[in-house]
Amino acid sequence: MNIKPAEKNLISKKMDAFFVNLYSAAQFIIRFFKELFKPPYEIKEIIKQCYEVGYKSLFLITLTGFITGLVFTKQSRPSLSEFGATSWLPSLVAIAIIRALAPLVTALICAGKVGSNIAAELGSMKVTEQIDAMEVSAVNPFKFLVVSRVLATTLMIPMLMCYTGFVAMMGAFINVHQNEMTSFITFFQQAFEKISFLDIFSSLIKSIVYGFTIGMVACYKGFHAKNGTEGVGKAANLSVVLSMFLIFIEEILIVQITNSIRP
């Protein structure tokens, strides 16, 4: 295949831009860890952001978590009942929810809701010179805006994941109770029979990684927004797309690592 010089030039320019972006993102992450431990600590802003990320996502998380548990149980029943194995339903659902669904559903919902919100907020602050205004008034905007938000997503998404898991299990229980008349205690005894410490621990690790990814990507895209309001929209959009893409990549990696150490 012959590549024309103009196309070659375009490809090389795109490659250059990709590596420049990668380098800039790496610098952004390094700066986060440097600033994280340096005083002053913006405790008030961190608490405010935890409230924004955690409390304000509860309704959406409750709804999606509950429906996920309910629908997953409903869809799994016919396959199990073919083998007369509906009694395995609680443990099957628990494994699916705790190992995969709760962290993934929480992360994807937060990438959309929280990630786009952060990217749009920081993006509009960037294009209206509010970040520059902070800098010239000798306030570190990175510390105030980025560190607080990334910390909030990293802390709150694991908590939201636990909550999603609980709500999804409740959805599953309602469906199982309706069909098999299983009691609450029996359902949860059967559900947690097959759950190991590693399942819960790996899910926690996953959600911490997802939370960090969502916060970092959203802040990076917002902090580097340009070209006015169009740039703000692009930053929010790219933040969601890139976060979701990275979440799936991380999911594969963490599952591989967890399975390799599973006894």
Partner 1 sequence: MEMGNENYIQNEPVISIMDLYKSFDDNHVLRGVNLEVHNKENVVVLGRSGTGKSVLIKIICGLLKPDKGSVNVLGKEVELLTDKELQQLRLQIGFSFQSSALYDSMTVRENLDFPLVRHSKHLSKKERITAIERVLDAVGLLQSINQMPSELSGGQRKRIGIARTLILRPKIMLYDEPTSGLDPITCIEINNLINQVKHQFNTTSIIITHDLTCAKTTGDKIAMLFDGKFIKQGTFDEVFSSTDERIQNFYKYNFIH
Site mask for partner 1 (CB under 8 A), range 108-137, x = bound: -------------x--xx--xxx-xxxxxx
- Residues between 16 and 75 with contacts to partner 1, criterion CB under 8 A: 40
Answer for the pair 40, 142: CB distance below 8 angstroms, yes or no.
Answer: no
Min dist CB 51 to partner 1, Å, is: 13
Min dist CB 138 to partner 1, Å, is: 4
Residue 34 vs 262, nearer CB to partner 1 = 34
Residue 9 vs 128, nearer CB to partner 1 = 128
Phi-psi label, residue 175: left if phi above 0, alpha if psi -120 to 50, beta otherwise: alpha
Min dist CB 125 to partner 1, Å, is: 8
Residue 3 vs 47, nearer CB to partner 1 = 47
Residue 103 vs 123, nearer CB to partner 1 = 123
User: Which residue, 159, 181, 170, is CA-closest to 69?
Assistant: 170
Report helix, strand and coil shares of the chain as percent, to nearest 5.
90, 0, 10
- Residues between 135 and 174 with contacts to partner 1, criterion CB under 8 A: 135-140
185 binds partner 1, rule: CB under 8 A: no
User: Which residue, 12, 230, 174, is CA-closest to 4?
Assistant: 12
Min dist CB 139 to partner 1, Å, is: 6
Phi-psi label, residue 3: left if phi above 0, alpha if psi -120 to 50, beta otherwise: beta
Q: How far apart are alpha carbons 54 and 49 in whole angstroms?
A: 8
Residue 92 vs 145, nearer CB to partner 1 = 145
Question: How many helices (H) and strands (E) would you count in the chain?
Answer: 12, 0
Residues that bind partner 1 in the complex, under the rule CB under 8 A = 40, 121, 124-125, 128-130, 132-140
